[in-house]
Amino acid sequence: MLIDLNENPTCTECGLCREVCPVFQIQQREEYSPRGRAMLDSAGIQTLVFYQCTLCRTCRIVCPVGHDPSGETLRSGLIAVGEETPANQVMIANIRQYGNPFGPLAEGEIPKTLTCC
């Protein structure tokens, strides 16, 4: 047969998770949907797209097979190969040096920027 079916061991790629994903609602691109991230993971791609996940896990709730795209695991894979967003690097450096993600803060000072991934 002409069909070359892709094997994805964890995600059935049904796409029912798209609309509940807050990141997909903003980005409106398949690679930022839970299915898209699972496809990228299945293809062995290490990409900063994996940081575009709020870790809310709403996708797991609606997934008919209960698949958890496990954003933490995908990001761990990125860290292992040295892939980080600049913001993430700053945040981690700040935590290590100052004990908070914002950097040096005077007593009672409110951070002016929220560093996030």
Partner 1 sequence: MEDLESLFQPGQVSTREETRIAYSRDASRIQGECQTVVWPDSTDDVARLVRWAVETGIDLVPRGAGTGLCGGATPQNSVVVDSAHLRHLGPVDIQTKQIVVDAGIPLDHLNRTLHSEGLFLPVIPGSHRSATVGGMIATNAAGLHAIRYGRMNDWVEEAVVVDGKGDVHRLSFNESKYVVGREGLTGMIVQAKLRLAEIPRNRSLTLLRFEHLEDMLNQIRSLKTNPSLSALEYLNPQAAVVVGWAAKHTLLAEYQSGDGEIMDLVEMATLWKTRESLSARLTHAGFPISEDPQIQPETQESILDWLTVQGIPVFGHLGVGILHPRFLLADPRIIDLYHRVITAGGQISGEHGMGLKKRQWASEALKSDIVALKTQFDPHRVFNRGKLC
Instruction: Give residues in contact with partner 1 (CB under 8 A).
Output: 1-6, 8, 12-20, 28-31, 33, 35-36, 39-40, 43, 45, 47, 49, 62-65
Q: Are 36 and 56 in contact (CB under 8 A)?
A: no
Q: How far is the CB of 86 from partner 1 (least distance, A)?
A: 18
Nearer to partner 1, 78 or 91 (CB): 78
Nearer to partner 1, 20 or 87 (CB): 20
Q: How far is the CB of 88 from partner 1 (least distance, A)?
A: 18
User: CA 53, 84, 71 angle in degrees (round to 5)?
Assistant: 30
Q: How far is the CB of 82 from partner 1 (least distance, A)?
A: 18
Q: How far is the CB of 117 from partner 1 (least distance, A)?
A: 17
Whole-angstrom Cα distance, residue 18 to residue 28?
A: 9
Report residue 75 CA to chain centroid gap. Answer: 7
Angle between helices 34-42 and 71-80 (to 10 degrees): 40
